Amino acid sequence: MKTNFENHALSNSIAKHITDQIISGDLKPGEKLVEHIYAEEYGTSRAPVREAIYLLAIEGLVERIPRKGAVVKEYSEHEIYDLLEIRNMLEKVVSK
């Protein structure tokens, strides 16, 4: 049986792996994340995968839809504009 710490470390690894897949374009916006596939890939139960998806939802990379599962978040043009504006403001503050 895995300790809570081991499960937490594993969920962080799974979250990083999924993040890398999203950034590289292997996972496209709107694509469903299937828990049992990641569980099989990591040789674990679905609990650490659920926790990883929860972490990604908090970061805004994944959207959890009740009774449907989790999908890679699709950003609207307005949301992308807002994110770029925030980034621009932060870069100005950092460069001072």
d(CA 39, CA 55): 16
Q: Which residue has the higher pLDDT, 28 or 79?
A: 28
Structural domain that includes position 11: 4-95
Distances (CA, A) of 9 to 24, 29, 56: 23, 26, 14
If you average pLDDT over residues 46-73, what whole number do you get?
95
If you average pLDDT over residues 48-64, what whole number do you get?
96
Tally the domains of the chain.
1
Spatial CA neighbour of 48 closest among 72, 3, 5, 14:
14
d(CA 96, CA 82): 22
Q: What is the CATH number of the domain that holds 37?
A: 1.10.10.10
Spatial CA neighbour of 38 closest among 49, 52, 53:
49
pTM of the entire predicted model: 0.76
